[in-house]
Structure formats: C-alpha cells, structure tokens
C-alpha cells in the first residue's frame, strides 16, 4: 500500500483562492457583487415538521440526557442544550462585544488581519480558499486572551471590557465542553475517567480551543449569497451561540438542510470530525452551513474544543469489534488540521485505516 505521508506531501494543497483572507467592506456595496453570487441554496421542504425533523433540544438536567444525547449524535451530529450553566447575560455580553468589534471601520480591523498560516486574527474563514465564490461573512478568532489584538484595535480607548468578556466566556466554554465531553462519552458507553486526558480530575485537562466570532451583515440578495459554506468542524465538539436563525444542519440521507431554531438562552453543540473518529464512525460530525438574511445583522460565536496538543485521537478501543473494525488511524488535532488544509472535505478519507502503510 502507498504510504499516507508521501501521498499527503505529494498531493499538495490545491486551493482555488489561496489568498482569500480579506473580507469585503460590506457597507460599500448596495447590491450583491458577482464575486459573492452563489447558485441559490435549497432548504428542507417546509412540510417536514415535528420533532424528528428538527435538531433536538436537550435539557442537561433531564435524567435521560445521556440517552437523548446518544440519539442526537447518531442521527444529527448536533443538538441544542438548555440548563447548561452559562448565564443568558453572559451570552448577550459576548454578542454585544462581538458587534462592537465588527462595527469598527475596515481599516481598523485590518490591523489584526490573520496571515495565511495563522488560525487567529481577523478575516474570512480559512475554508474560503476551497470555494470559487466569496462568503457573506467575516470572522475574528482567538486562543486565550485577545489583549494583544485589542490594544491594536483600540489604542486610545479602553479595551479591557472586550478582553474580560472574551476571557470569561472562554473559561465558561471550557467548563461546559468538559461536561459535554463527559456526557457524550458516557452516551457511547465509555467511562470518561478511562481516558486520561478527558478527565478534569487528573488536572491534565489541557484541551486546546479556539474562539471564533462570526459576523453576517444584512445582505441585499440573501437567496444567492452564502454566509458560511457547508463544512464539518475539525474539532471534538463545537459550542455555538447564534444571535438569530441562520445555522442549518444537513440530514443528507433524507430531509436535506434543516434550519436550527433559536431557543432563548440555548447553545448549539456540533460534533466535529475528531469525535466521529473517536466513536469509530458511530457518531456523525454535523455537516452545517450558515445562511444570511435581508433584515438582521447576524452574529455567531463558536468555541471549538479539541484534545490536548500531543494527544493522538483514534477510534476508541471500546468502539471496535468484529462487526466494526477500527476505521481510522490516530492523529493529533494539528495533524488533522494540516490534512484538512490540504484536502478539506476529503480529509477523513486520508486517515481511513485502509490508507495506512502496513509497514
Ligand atoms: O454561524 C454559524 O451559525 C456557523 C458557524 C460555524 O459553523 C463555524 O464557525 O464553524
Ligand atoms: Fe462550523
């Protein structure tokens, strides 16, 4: 068999738009430019209604939460949570500080533009380079304190509030992600204490994480624009706050793209590719996208949670049996991000077991 490593280095990234980082100044255009015009999006048939046709909302205090999570992860790769412990006021503060950032003039935001190699800073989402058309959105990402960026953004003003809100939110998201990871593992029948790095009691819990603020300005022609193109997240799990509707999750096998309704104070949980790998394919990673609208400037805040730096994620031993042999080889988050940066939606194929050099 061909060696995976040589295959990856040979097939170097072939992005369509490698330098696509700087967003449009959305205030400057009255109509949708050709660079941003996509073929119209199709959505789920509105006649699909009822519980089985919308992303489940799970109360974390529900005694059946673990089994509800299992069903949601198998069927959707996504769910919403209530009673998650993050106060509603904090969600609103993060939204308001995000809006404050995006309201800055374009030249100010460009002071903190991300470089092609970096995942933090301001710009279009990194997956933009795989699409021929540009998305109707802009983003700003950080890991830990955004202080260095904030000082450049607001050199003569007080930037403490922006920093403290973002830092507080990351702390809260870390705690919630740990709790969710425990519940998701339990739903797979795995004791999270058996996985050293997943157990916060070991004091080892050094998850890596990225906080991403997304902005989708009001759009003159929403049916022909794309807020964020279809993708799965590379994380273990992503916790998402949306200010208004716009997120859609795909149920490919039957009903297609399904809008995720806003439930006051709820947070959305998307499973990422690393969780799909850990579950040995039992759980889906949610294929999702964001659509835009004509009346509301939509903001979303995504917290991507991944494993500790050196940890190789592979299918859990408990998920492997005669009927379901190991599907994937082990990868660190960084290795997986590199494979994604080169192969985008084919990345999982590259770590399938049958692609491994047996030697
Ligand atoms: O804005 C949204 O609803 C989706 C955001 C998202 O999928 C992402 O940041 O990866
Ligand atoms: Fe996403």
- Which value, to the nearest 10 degrees, does the dihedral of the CA atoms of residues 98, 100, 103, 105 take? -110
Task: Check whether 8 has a pLDDT greater than 60.
Answer: no
CA distance 90 to 57: 20
pLDDT at 237: 98
Give the least confident one: 4-8, 139-143, 321-325. Answer: 4-8
pLDDT at 51: 61
Answer yes or no: are the C-beta atoms of 271 and 284 closer than 8 Å. Answer: yes
Q: Using CA positions, which residue lies closest to atom 8 of ligand 1?
A: 302
User: Residue 279: inside a domain, yes or no?
Assistant: yes
242 lines ligand 1 (CB under 6 A): yes
- Identify which of 247, 248, 262, 303 to mutate to test ligand 1's pocket (most ligand atoms within 8 A of the CB): 247
User: Residue 218: inside a domain, yes or no?
Assistant: yes
User: Residue 272: inside a domain, yes or no?
Assistant: yes
Task: Check whether 315 has a pLDDT greater than 70.
Answer: yes
**Atom number, ligand 1, closest to the C-alpha of residue 139:** 9
pLDDT at 353: 83
Average pLDDT estimate for 112-135: 92
User: Residue 355: inside a domain, yes or no?
Assistant: no
Residue 278 CB contacts under 8 Å (≥ 6 apart), including other chains: 236, 313, 314, 315, 316, 319
288 lines ligand 1 (CB under 6 A): yes
Average pLDDT estimate for 256-267: 95
Answer yes or no: are the C-beta atoms of 274 and 234 closer than 8 Å. Answer: yes
pLDDT at 1: 35
End-to-end CA distance of the chain: 9
Share of the chain above pLDDT 70, in %: 89
Task: Check whether 359 has a pLDDT greater than 50.
Answer: no
- Identify which of 300, 304, 345 to mutate to test ligand 1's pocket (most ligand atoms within 8 A of the CB): 300
CA of residue 11 to ligand 1 center, whole Å: 28
Give the least confident one: 5-9, 86-90, 325-329, 330-334. Answer: 5-9
User: Residue 330: inside a domain, yes or no?
Assistant: no
**Assigned token pair, 209:** 């994480």
Overall number of domains in the chain: 1
CA of residue 248 to ligand 1 center, whole Å: 9
pTM, rounded to two decimals? 0.92
Q: What is the CATH number of the domain that holds 124?
A: 2.60.120.330
pLDDT at 3: 37
290 lines ligand 1 (CB under 6 A): yes
**Atom number, ligand 1, closest to the C-alpha of residue 300:** 1
Q: What are phi and psi of 110, to 5 degrees?
A: -70, -15
User: Residue 328: inside a domain, yes or no?
Assistant: no
Residue-wise pLDDT tens digits, 34-43: 999 998 766 6
CA of residue 233 to ligand 2 center, whole Å: 5
Confidence band of 21 (pLDDT split at 50, 70, 90): confident
Domain that holds residue 74: 40-320
Average pLDDT estimate for 128-144: 95
Q: Which ligand is nearest to the CA of 125?
A: 1
Give the least confident one: 21-35, 142-156, 176-190, 284-298. Answer: 21-35
Task: Check whether 205 has a pLDDT greater than 80.
Answer: no
User: Residue 31: inside a domain, yes or no?
Assistant: no
Task: Check whether 184 has a pLDDT greater than 90.
Answer: yes
Mean pLDDT, the chain, integer: 89
Q: Which ligand is nearest to the CA of 268?
A: 1
- Identify which of 219, 257, 290 to mutate to test ligand 1's pocket (most ligand atoms within 8 A of the CB): 290
- Report DSSP state, residue 63: T
Q: Which positions are annotated as active-site residues?
A: 298
300 lines ligand 1 (CB under 6 A): yes
**Atom number, ligand 1, closest to the C-alpha of residue 246:** 3
Q: Which ligand is nearest to the CA of 247?
A: 1
Task: Check whether 204 has a pLDDT greater than 60.
Answer: no
Task: Check whether 10 has a pLDDT greater than 80.
Answer: no
CA of residue 300 to ligand 1 center, whole Å: 7
Residue-wise pLDDT tens digits, 217-234: 999 999 999 999 999 999
pLDDT at 2: 37
pLDDT at 6: 36
Considering only residues 289 and 252, tell me which one the structure prediction assigns the higher pLDDT: 289
User: Residue 195: inside a domain, yes or no?
Assistant: yes
Angle at 118 between CA 112 and CA 124, to 5 degrees: 65
């Amino acid at each position: 068999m061909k060696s995976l490593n040589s295959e990856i280095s040979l097939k170097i990234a072939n992005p369509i738009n490698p330098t696509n980082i700087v967003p449009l100044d959305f205030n400057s255009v009255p109509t949708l430019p050709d660079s941003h015009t996509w073929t119209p999006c199709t959505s789920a048939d509105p006649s699909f209604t009822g519980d089985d046709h919308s992303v489940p909302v799970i109360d974390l205090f529900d005694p059946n939460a673990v089994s509800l999570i299992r069903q949601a992860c198998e069927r959707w790769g996504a769910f919403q949570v209530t009673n998650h412990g993050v106060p509603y006021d904090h969600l609103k503060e993060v939204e308001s500080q995000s809006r404050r950032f995006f309201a800055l003039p374009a030249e100010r935001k460009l002071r903190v533009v991300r470089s092609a190699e970096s995942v933090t800073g301001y710009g279009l989402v990194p997956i933009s380079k795989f699409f021929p058309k540009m998305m109707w959105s802009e983003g700003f990402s950080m890991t830990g304190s955004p202080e260095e960026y904030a000082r450049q953004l607001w050199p003569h003003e007080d930037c403490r509030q922006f920093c403290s809100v973002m830092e507080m939110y990351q702390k809260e998201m870390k705690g919630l992600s740990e709790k969710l990871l425990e519940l998701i593992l339990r739903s797979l029948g795995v004791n999270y204490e058996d996985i050293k790095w997943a157990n916060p009691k070991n004091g080892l819990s050094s998850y890596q994480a990225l906080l991403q603020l997304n902005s989708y300005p009001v759009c003159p022609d929403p049916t022909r624009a794309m807020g964020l193109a279809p993708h799965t997240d590379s994380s273990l799990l992503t916790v998402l706050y949306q200010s208004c509707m716009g997120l859609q999750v795909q149920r490919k096998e039957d009903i297609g793209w399904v809008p995720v309704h806003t439930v006051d104070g709820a947070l959305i949980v998307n499973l990422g590719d690393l969780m799909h790998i850990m579950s040995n394919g039992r759980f889906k990673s949610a294929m999702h996208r964001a659509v835009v609208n004509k009346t509301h400037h939509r903001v979303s805040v995504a917290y991507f949670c991944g494993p500790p730096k050196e940890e190789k994620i592979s299918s859990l031993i408990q998920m492997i049996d005669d009927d379901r042999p190991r599907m994937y080889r082990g990868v660190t988050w960084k290795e997986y991000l590199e494979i994604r940066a080169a192969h985008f939606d084919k990345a999982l194929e590259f770590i399938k077991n049958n692609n491994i050099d047996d030697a």
